[in-house]
A and B are shown apart, each in its own frame.
Chain A
Amino acid sequence: MSAQDSLYRRLLAWLLLPLLGLGALMLIQAYLGARDTADRAFDRLLEASSLAIAEQVKWQDEQLWLDLSPAALEMLATDAEERVFYALYNARGEFITGNANLPGLAMANGDEQALHYGNVTWNDQHLRLGIRETRLEGWSQRERFEVRVAHTREGRESLTLALFQGSLVRIAIMALLAACILVLTIRLALSPLTRLRRAIRERDPRTLAPLALNLPRELAELRETLNDLLARMRRVRANQERFIGDASHQLRTPLAGLSARAELALRQDDPALWREALQAMQATSASTARLAVQLLSMTRLNNPEASPELTPQDLNQVARTATLGALGACHREGIDLGVETSEEAILVPGVGWQLEECLANLIDNARRYGASQITVRVLANPPTLEVEDNGPGIPADLRLMVLRPFFRGQDSGEGSGLGLAIVDSIARAHHARLTLHEARQGSGLRVAIRFMGDRS
């Protein structure tokens, strides 16, 4: 797993972020709840004190009278150091008595007995104000009056804080638990992936056996895809091993011949025999070296990993380059090598060096199998490369067989049996067809590579 992008991290992030959001919502909710509770508790206190004050109101000297004992005033305060205010107003809204000139509230005409609450700012202090409208009971005069009580908010705030802190601890513990559970669950859910990774990492790099591992459905599909790939690789490797077996046999034989010839020559004293041996050895080593080169190109061509990009190639140019390359060897042997190109460029998507190697192999074959005249030809419709010789040719019934690796027509000991197989591989890679025909004139062989284009 790379540090930048891991499934584990991704899952964790996507689950933890919403969880964090939820936690924040819960915190807000807890704070609002705590404040509400504190308000209700303190409002009840306000209510009780307003009632107590209202009961103390008397009718004396033709007016309202309140005599509040310090003990009663004490009752209004709580432990918190808040300041408590009260005031008595008559029905006309005139201040009768109290320790503060508390403001009134715009009240809807509601319940007689209920206390009306309001938050007011008075003399730069935030107050909770409760107003009770009532009238004298049990006196001859049933005068209406208002009791106003208020206190500062310290008590409420400290209670809110205390309540909120309690919820905070509970929420934190729950969040921690949830995070732990998440981490564990993700680990658990991803554990098959870890097992798969470990199983792949612990494999012997040489083994191509299928993976046998119990996995959940989603990963089982991945395992099957991997196993398909492994099966294809097994087939490729089997093919390669067969080829290597053939190849090592093909290389060992001429090497044994070389060594035997050298040994024999060393036992002899006649320089003429040495010369003969050296000539034989030179021919064999040259053809063995050529075989090694061809084996290499065969292996590379059959390598499914390497599929080079096809670019437009002018067949005329390919034919000229290949002919120039083979000119030296043909001249030394007195073979007339020529090329017949067409006037205009014939473009075919392909890999230049592969097409040149194709022609080089065909020219080489013709040269080795006794031609004295070889012609490389480019035809336009369909685009075709041809190599025609005046050698002995190949009987019609053998023409398919010679395309197989290591098959040799008339075994003259010269060829490697790979040349045509290489040409065939290259032709296939170019969507072209390799066909063998009789020469247009005489007995020779005419090999044609016809490009079908991508339509085929």
Chain B
Amino acid sequence: MRLLLIEDDALLAETLADVLRLDNHQVTALADGDQARRALSQAGHGQDLILLDLNLPGCNGLDVLAALRQHDKETPVLILTARGAIEDRVRGLDLGADDYLAKPFALDELEARVRALLRRHTRSTALQVGNLDFDSLSQRFTLGGEPLNLPPREQRLLGCLMRHAGVPVDKARLAEEAFAGESMGDNAIEVYVHRLRRRLSGSGVELRTVRGLGYLLEST
């Protein structure tokens, strides 16, 4: 994937670029707000994800974001900022950012957010969590290269969880998205989750329960 990193702190920019390249992304790094705005204010910038610092030399990150969103509502933007307070998050999200990470952040956290954003915005039909792959066109799963054959309901449940991988999905949403039209009791969902968990155990992909928020599929 092609990533554009807009960050003016040299040490942080270099480190982040290295980390993202190790994750097999093509990373372009810019350190200047005006430069970034020029690069993004026209269609065809060719990026899949933009990591954007808010405090930049030249014009600030929110201006860059506004310029991008004028013609491009699709490309996901992850805001990185030292401003810290959650109140800035609201402004960024209002302007059309997709996610927000306050400095300092853990590299794991950044990688997880990048993965989640790319997955959510990918136009391809192939989804991947760890070594679990799902082709939504053929509705076929492979786990560690081996085909994973599932009964229809488990298949739909896992497909839904994969689309939301990294984010907890509650039972109401699962019932609506995976079993639309079917009346499913909470218990039934628990049974399917239990079965899926058994199938995935020891595979590097985990289906966890987050109390009060729902089920979360992630790679371990």
Chain A interface residues toward B at CB < 8 A: 285-286, 289-290, 293, 296-297, 300, 308, 319-320, 323-324, 327-329, 331-332, 336-341, 352-353, 356-357, 375-376
A328: chain B residues at CB < 8 Å are: 106, 108-109, 112
B residues neighboring A (CB under 8 Å):
84-87, 89-90, 102-104, 106, 108-109, 112, 167-168, 208, 210-213, 216, 218
Q: Chain B CB within 10 Å — which of A286, A297, A328, A340 has the most?
A: A328
Q: How distant is A81 from chain B, measured CB to nearest CB, in Å?
A: 88
B213–A357 CB distance below 8 A: no
Q: Give the Cβ gap from B12 to chain A, nearest Cβ, in Å.
A: 11
Known: A327-B168, A353-B89. A320 touches B212 (CB 8 A): yes
User: Closest A-chain residue to B209, C-beta based?
Assistant: A338
Name the distance in Å between B70's Cβ and chain A's nearest Cβ: 27
- Which 7 pairs, one residue from A and one from B, show the smallest C-beta to C-beta distance? A338-B211, A339-B212, A353-B86, A289-B104, A293-B84, A353-B87, A328-B109
**Closest residue of chain B to A323, judged by CB?**
B213
Residues in A neighbouring B85, C-beta threshold 8 A: 296-297, 300, 353, 357
Sample of 16 A–B contacts (CB below 8 Å): A289-B104, A293-B84, A293-B104, A296-B85, A319-B212, A320-B213, A323-B212, A327-B213, A329-B106, A331-B208, A331-B218, A332-B108, A337-B211, A339-B212, A353-B90, A356-B86
Bound CA span A340–B104, Å: 29
Contact B102 A293 (CB under 8 A): yes
Q: How many A-B residue pairs have CB under 8 A?
A: 64
Partner of A290 from the list B89, B104, B109, B218 (CB cut-off 8 Å) is: B104
The distance in angstroms between the C-alpha atoms of A308 and B84, with both chains bound, is 17
Inter-chain CA distance A324–B100, complex, in Å, is 13
> Cβ of B109: which chain A residues have Cβ within 8 Å of it?
328-329
Structural contact, B210 and A337, CB atoms closer than 8 A? yes
A376 to B210, CA, bound (A): 12
Instruction: Check if A340 sits within 8 Å of B211, measured CB to CB.
Output: yes
Decide yes or no: A339 and B84 within 8 Å by CB, A329-B106, A332-B106 being known contacts: no
Bound CA span A341–B213, Å: 9
Residues on the A chain within 8 Å of B211, using CB: 336-340, 375
Does B102 contact A324, Cβ atoms closer than 8 Å? Answer: no
Most buried by A among B90, B103, B210, B212: B212
